[in-house]
A and B are shown apart, each in its own frame.
Chain A
Amino acid sequence: MNHLIITPVVVPLLAGILLLLLREQDVAIKRLLSLGSLIAQLGLALLLVKTVNTGDIFVYALGNWAAPFGIVLVADRLTVWMLSTTALLSIFAFIYAMHSTDKAGRHFHALFQLQLFGLNGAFLTGDLFNLFVFFEILLLASYGLLLHGGGRLRTKAGLHFVVINLAGSTLFLFAVGTLYGILGTLNMADLALKVASVPPENLPLVRAAGLLLFGVFALKAALLPLYLWLPAAYAHTSAPVAALFAIMTKVGAYCILRIYTLIYGEQAGPAANLIENWLLPLALATLVIGVLGAVGSKHLRLQTAYLVIASVGTLLIAFGLNSQAGIATGLYYLPHTTFASAALFLLADAIARRRGEMADRLDPGPVIASPRLFGGLFMITAILMAGLPPLSGFLGKFMLLRAALDHPALPWVMAVVLISGLLALIALARTGSLLFYRVHAASADNQSSNVDKPCFNELAPIVGLLGLCLVLTIWAEPVLQYANSTALQLLQPYHYIHAVLGGRI
């Protein structure tokens, strides 16, 4: 048994516990400890990439209880891909938080680590009930982070976020209970085996449980019509938290990909391809709603939140194609969109700080300090978000259209992706011209020079996240090779099942 697999879960948990013990005034130690834990997680994730890149699937049985009787953690290519994306994103979000956000409340550092504990656990677990538990951990931490710093609008958005997620958790439990009641197991690999041979009289229940689960994951991924909680929550929380939450919608997307290739995939007999008829149309509609929201937004951060919804739409269109090329494209697009939308959240905050009372409202305002620097960064981010050549957003969309070529819904995919790209471009171009061109000279009294000067903690994360997108563009081929072999691994769930259950099948 390879103990490396459990380390991405243990490190943030231990760091979170240690952070709780520190006093409030020890900010420097807290930052050092948090940063150390984040770097350790990144190193472990990269080490795991190297380990699983041989094509093997590693299983860690907790307490050495063999599956399906105990809980297992499973590291395959998809899991490790998600872990690395999370680790990279969280480092940059945290560096930005060190600018000032982390001092606004007592437990920011501990909650940040516990959030990562929940995220890493949700990606690693191979047990459906354990997935629920990790969901609750990451949600509880996210409630705290969302409300961090306080404020009227934040509280209101937070209340909606918490209530809808609690309702979602209830649905999750109903679905898990139904599956257990019928199939008598919660281990995902074992479920995959048992779904295939379910007797016809129980089939409607198994399908209902599968669709209930889809509802839960669609809620987490902010798929239409369950996206209404996202814009307010993401627009009103603090910038580093919004940037970190860029991965939260991807947890939903990850679960959809995992459950519906493994348990309800091609080989699931009568329940095969359960959500095929639902996912693609809903994803297309989500993309449309996302860009329409972005066009209609009057605040930059709200616009970014709608662009996150649009990116979820694009991502799930790719997964919804249900082919190797489609899934591989989605996996390439996933880190790109996570990094780009996180960068836009951070940039929006950096710009809003410099506009005084105008904040991020999209109206002509004062000239901001260092307009060339921020204008340039905004342009690069906008190119990434709108999917223009030559950066990774374009590559992702191009591959998406190519993957859709032999799919019956090609006209729909083509039309929606291209038109929404145009609308996103219009929305971002309008934002850019309002923020940087149609400006009037700043009045003398709101010139506070120490805020205006861009500092390392502000610029480094934005530049870093954009740099990661550049890496995805330049080294697109090895990334895509990895994504392709991940998709292949997902579409052959036999290997996963065999790795988990070993000789028992």
Chain B
Amino acid sequence: MEALIAIMIGVLTACGVYLCLRNRTFPVVLGLTFLSYAVNLFLFVMGRLVIGQPPVITGSSSAYADPIPQALVLTAIVISFAMTAFVIVLALKARTDLGNDHVDGKEEA
């Protein structure tokens, strides 16, 4: 399962980087979204993958799921949500102000 998750994070990051380098604002926004998904997943698995364990130590269980990455990822999700919303609005504003959706505001000749 570790390999599967690792490959998934890698693919998500690669897609994100590729889309970020595109020249239209919409793919760039999508790319940033992919990157934030990748990093959220990455943060989440940094607490190691365990199945069916409680996130708090109780008397009966010997192992536990690390709760800190879950808290971190919650914060990161909220922040990346806000940022994505902001960048979408900004991309729309740029579309209106600059007359097109090229990231540099000009159509190539």
Contacts and interface: CB of A to CB of B under 8 A. Distances in A.
Most buried by B among A151, A152, A155, A186: A155
B23 interface: no
Interface residues on A, range: 20 to 34
A365 B17 CA distance: 46
B57 interface: no
Given A173-B76, A174-B39, A159 B90 contact: yes
A156 B38 CA distance: 27
Contacts of B69: 177, 180
A152 B99 CA distance: 10
B46 A152 contact: no
B83 A166 contact: yes
B97 A166 contact: no
B32 A180 contact: no
B68 interface: yes
Given A147-B90, A163-B32, A180-B68, A140 B20 contact: no
Contacts, number: 85
Given A170-B35, A170-B39, A162 B94 contact: no
A133 interface: yes
B32 A166 contact: yes
B103 interface: yes
Given A147-B90, A173-B43, A174-B39, 18 more contacts: A136-B83, A143-B90, A151-B97, A152-B97, A155-B105, A156-B94, A159-B91, A162-B90, A163-B32, A166-B32, A166-B36, A167-B32, A170-B16, A170-B38, A177-B43, A180-B43, A181-B46, A186-B68
Interface of A: 129, 133, 136, 140, 143, 147, 150-152, 155-156, 158-160, 162-163, 166-167, 169-170, 173-174, 176-178, 180-181, 186
Interface of B: 16, 20, 25, 28, 32, 35-36, 38-39, 42-43, 46-48, 68-69, 72, 75-76, 79-80, 82-83, 86-87, 90-91, 93-94, 97-98, 103-105
